[in-house]
Each structure stands twice: as structure tokens, then as C-alpha cells.
């Protein structure tokens, strides 16, 4: 599925992978380690129109709920049914089987505005304290 | 110092949940807020992803009818019956790297330390609960890092959520289980919050008159929000 280096990233740690005309979205390995043991994924509704930066999904771990933001504007074209059945997949394979949803983007230029892998690695260094 | 005397501290469950979310969304990014509140009527709150059918069954089992005012929180965790508890919420900058378990453990550890300094004997549960799954009644079984009496009865439980760079903690404290006044307990929580973020919490926060908060009250009252996880 998506390779870390080929994805673009948000500061809130969602990744976006251009897969043909659609964009696959998940959370980064860094994010899944921060969130820890995910026990629930609430996916966005199919067909929902979303804007970039909008909270569109949530995950829960250790009595904590986390918003997941959309990296691009567009329409939700698919959600991953496997993560609803077994949310731990997101922890085990965040860049592969643990993808969350697909977007049919309405503004593809937003993809290039996201951080690339190298920029994301630099960004992560600034987050350490 | 008397804490918890902010206006609108006694409201219905939908308004209280809206005020907590407003504090999370509209407080300055680096601020630490602490709000103590109570209820205008007996109420229940349940976790962000709990099944509404589970909640209805639990209400019927306890109350004989599902009529108790209840609201879905934006934080995770289980179903909590309110009325005789001290409820409080805190919003804070959620700096990375901090896992929810670390934040929960640290906050409860600090509150426990402050209570011990008041002469109260208690435990911080160190082992995970043996019951799995989201659909739980919060005070039925202590979870890891909950504060309990020495014989294991839960005193303090809480839940968290993160939006952007800020976190919300909502806590429920069974004041009847320890021999301190309400104000002493509030003072202990206030001191713990101060140590938690190394700054004095802002307590006189009031977003009730904001138009955005009124929209949030409508959200918490709506069937769409309450029943979003069937």
C-alpha cells in the first residue's frame, strides 16, 4: 500500500497518498505510537463533502478520543471496513492495512501543499521537548 | 480561597458538556483552565464512542426508565452517573510526546499526592482492568491509574480528548468516599492542576453567552449526536 516516503503529511500527523485519482488517508506511525492502543474508529460517512483541515473521523484509546483531520478537500469515496472490525490494525500497520478513508479530491493542489516525508521528519524533531 | 463559584456552575447536562467543549475550543492555545461544576438535576454522561443502546439498557437497569438526562461526551471512557459527585474539567496544551495514558496517570498521581498531604489514604490503580471493551459503567470497575480507596473502591475517574493541540480532561470525584470538605478536595485538585502544567489554572471562564456555545448545547441535545453510535 502506501510507502512512508511517497506520502504527504499534516502537522496533525495524518498521511495522504495519491492513489490514481483518489487520495488514501491514514495516521502516521508517530501518531499511532502517541495515541497508543486504538479500541475504536469512527469513520466518516460515505459521500460526505469535506474541507482540508476539517475533523472527519475519531479514534479512541485509553479513555481518550482523538480527532482525525482531512488532509484535502473533496468527497469521502471509501472507508476501511477492516479498521472498524479490528481497530488495532491501525497500530499494527498504520501505512498499510490500517488506512482510514479515501477522498475524491476537489482541489488536488492541496496535496502538494502538505509536508513531504523529509519535511515531516524535520517537523517531528521540532515536536520533541 | 473558595473554588467552584463561577457563574453557571449548576446547569443541565447538555449545557455543562457544551461549556467543556467551548473551553477546549475557544480558550487560548497555551492556557490551562479548570472548571468545577454540578447539576441542576440528576444526569448521566457517556463516552464518545459508547453504544447508545448500551447506555439506554444501563439507564433502565438503574433507574427503571431511560428518562434520566444524559449526554454523549466528546471524551472517551464509560458511562457516569452524576449528581452526588464533584465534576470538574480541565483544558490544557497537549504537547507531544504525551500519550493519553501518561497524561491520565500523571494528573491522577498529582491529585492523589495532594489528597495524601491532607491525610487521606488512597491508591492509584496500577494494573489494567480485567474487563475489555468500550461499553462500561465508569465507577463499576476501577481502570488503570484511577484513584481508589485502600480497599479498591473507585474515588476518581476521568476521560480525555484531544483536538488540535489542546486536551480536555473531564473528571468525576466521589466526594462521599473521603473525609474532606468539598472545598478541600477542590483545593487539592487546583494545586495538582497547577503542578501538572506549572501554571495557575484560570477558573473564571464563562463561554455560556457565546453564540458558538449555544450551538454546542443544541448539538448535545440532538438525537443525531446522542445516538451517533447506535
Q: Which three cell numbers stand for residue B114?
A: 495532594
Does residue B3 form part of some domain? no
Q: Give me the pLDDT at residue B27, please.
A: 92
All structural domains of chain A, each given as residue ranges with its CATH number in brackets, are: 10-123 (2.40.50.100)
**Extended strands (E) in B127-190:** 147-148, 154-163, 166-173
Instruction: Name the pLDDT band for B128 (thresholds 50, 70, 90).
Output: confident
Please check whether residue B22 lies inside any domain of the structure: yes
- What are the CA-CA distances from residue B194 to residues A105, B111, B201, B229 (Å)? 45, 10, 6, 36
pLDDT of residue B74: 98
B202 vs A121 pLDDT, higher one: A121
Residue B40 contacts A where some CB pair is shorter than 8 Å? no
Question: Is B134 domain-assigned?
Answer: no
| Assigned domain for B61 exists | yes
Percent of chain A with pLDDT over 90: 91
Closest by Cβ to B161, choosing from A36, A65, A129: A65
Which of A46, A42, A71 shows the shortest CA–CA distance to B161?
Answer: A42
3 state DSSP class of B49: coil
Tell the burial category of B64 from Cβ atoms under 10 Å away from its Cβ (0-12, 13-18, 19+): exposed
Contact yes or no for A129 and B96 at CB 8 A? yes
CA neighbor of A60 nearest in space, from B133, B207, B128: B133
User: Nearest by CB to A34, which of B78, B99, B229?
Assistant: B99
- Return the bridge partners of B159, or none: B170
The CATH number assigned to the domain holding B108 equals 3.30.930.10
Count: domains in chain B: 1
Q: What is the ipTM of this complex?
A: 0.91
- Contact (Cβ atoms closer than 8 angstroms) between residue A22 and residue A105: yes
Predicted pLDDT at B1: 43
Continuous H helices in B72-210: 100-117, 182-197
The answer to whether residue B33 scores a pLDDT higher than 60 is yes
Pair B35, B88: CB distance under 8 Å: yes
Taken in order A76, B24, B26, B70, the sign of the CA dihedral is positive
Any B CB within 8 A of A84 CB:
no
**Residue B56 within a domain:** yes
Give the pLDDT of residue B168.
Answer: 97
CB-closest option in A12, A62, A67 to B101: A62
CA distance B172 to B1: 22
Can you give the residue range of the structural domain that contains B220? 10-129+142-226
| CB atoms B101 and A129 under 8 Å | no
Q: Determine, yes or no, domain membership for B188.
A: yes
| Confidence check: pLDDT of B81 > 60 | yes
Residue B135 belongs to some domain of the structure: no
Contact B153, B146 (CB under 8 A): no
pTM for the whole thing? 0.93
CA-closest candidate to residue B126, choices B141, B146, B111: B146
User: Is B107's Cβ below 8 Å from some Cβ in A?
Assistant: no
Q: Confirm whether B181 is domain-assigned.
A: yes
| 3-class DSSP assignment, residue A7 | coil
Contact A40, A60 (CB under 8 A): yes
Q: How confident is the model at residue B226 (pLDDT cuts 50, 70, 90)?
A: very high
pLDDT bin (cut points 50, 70, 90) of residue A1 is: low
Residues of B in Cβ contact (< 8 Å) with A128: 96-97
Amino acid at each position: 500500500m502506501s510507502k512512508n516516503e511517497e506520502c504527504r503529511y499534516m502537522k496533525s500527523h495524518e498521511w495522504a497518498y495519491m492513489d490514481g485519482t483518489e487520495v488514501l488517508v491514514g495516521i502516521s506511525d508517530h501518531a499511532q505510537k502517541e495515541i497508543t492502543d486504538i479500541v475504536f474508529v469512527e469513520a466518516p460517512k460515505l459521500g460526505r463533502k469535506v474541507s482540508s483541515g476539517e475533523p472527519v473521523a475519531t479514534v479512541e484509546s485509553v479513555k481518550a478520543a482523538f480527532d482525525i483531520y482531512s488532509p484535502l478537500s473533496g468527497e469521502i469515496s471509501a472507508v476501511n471496513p477492516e479498521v472498524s472490525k479490528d481497530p488495532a490494525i491501525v497500530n499494527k500497520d498504520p501505512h498499510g492495512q490500517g488506512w482510514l478513508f479515501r477522498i475524491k479530491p476537489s482541489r488536488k493542489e492541496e496535496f502538494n501543499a502538505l509536508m513531504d516525508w523529509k519535511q515531516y521528519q524535520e517537523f517531528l524533531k521540532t515536536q520533541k521537548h | 480561597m473558595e473554588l467552584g463559584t463561577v457563574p453557571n456552575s449548576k446547569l443541565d447536562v447538555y449545557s455543562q458538556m457544551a461549556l467543556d467543549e467551548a473551553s477546549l475550543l475557544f480558550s487560548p492555545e497555551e492556557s490551562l483552565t479548570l472548571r468545577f461544576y454540578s447539576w441542576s438535576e440528576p444526569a448521566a454522561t457517556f463516552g464518545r464512542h459508547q453504544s447508545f443502546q448500551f447506555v439506554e439498557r444501563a439507564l433502565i437497569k438503574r433507574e427503571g426508565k431511560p428518562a434520566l438526562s444524559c449526554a454523549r461526551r466528546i471524551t472517551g471512557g464509560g458511562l457516569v452517573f452524576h449528581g452526588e459527585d464533584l465534576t470538574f474539567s480541565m483544558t490544557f496544551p497537549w504537547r507531544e510526546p504525551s500519550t493519553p495514558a501518561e497524561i491520565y496517570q500523571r494528573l491522577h498521581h498529582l491529585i492523589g499526592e495532594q489528597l495524601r498531604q491532607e491525610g487521606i489514604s488512597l491508591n492509584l490503580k496500577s494494573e489494567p482492568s480485567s474487563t475489555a471493551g468500550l461499553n462500561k459503567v465508569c465507577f463499576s470497575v476501577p481502570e488503570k491509574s484511577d484513584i481508589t480507596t485502600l480497599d479498591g473502591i473507585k474515588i476518581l475517574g476521568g476521560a480525555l480528548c484531544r483536538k488540535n493541540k489542546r486536551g480536555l480532561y473531564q473528571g468525576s470525584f466521589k466526594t462521599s468516599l473521603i473525609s474532606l470538605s468539598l472545598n478541600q478536595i477542590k483545593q487539592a485538585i487546583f494545586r495538582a492542576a497547577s503542578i501538572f502544567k506549572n501554571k495557575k489554572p484560570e477558573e473564571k471562564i464563562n463561554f455560556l453567552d457565546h453564540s458558538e456555545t449555544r450551538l454546542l448545547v443544541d448539538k448535545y441535545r440532538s438525537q443525531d449526536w446522542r445516538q451517533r453510535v447506535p
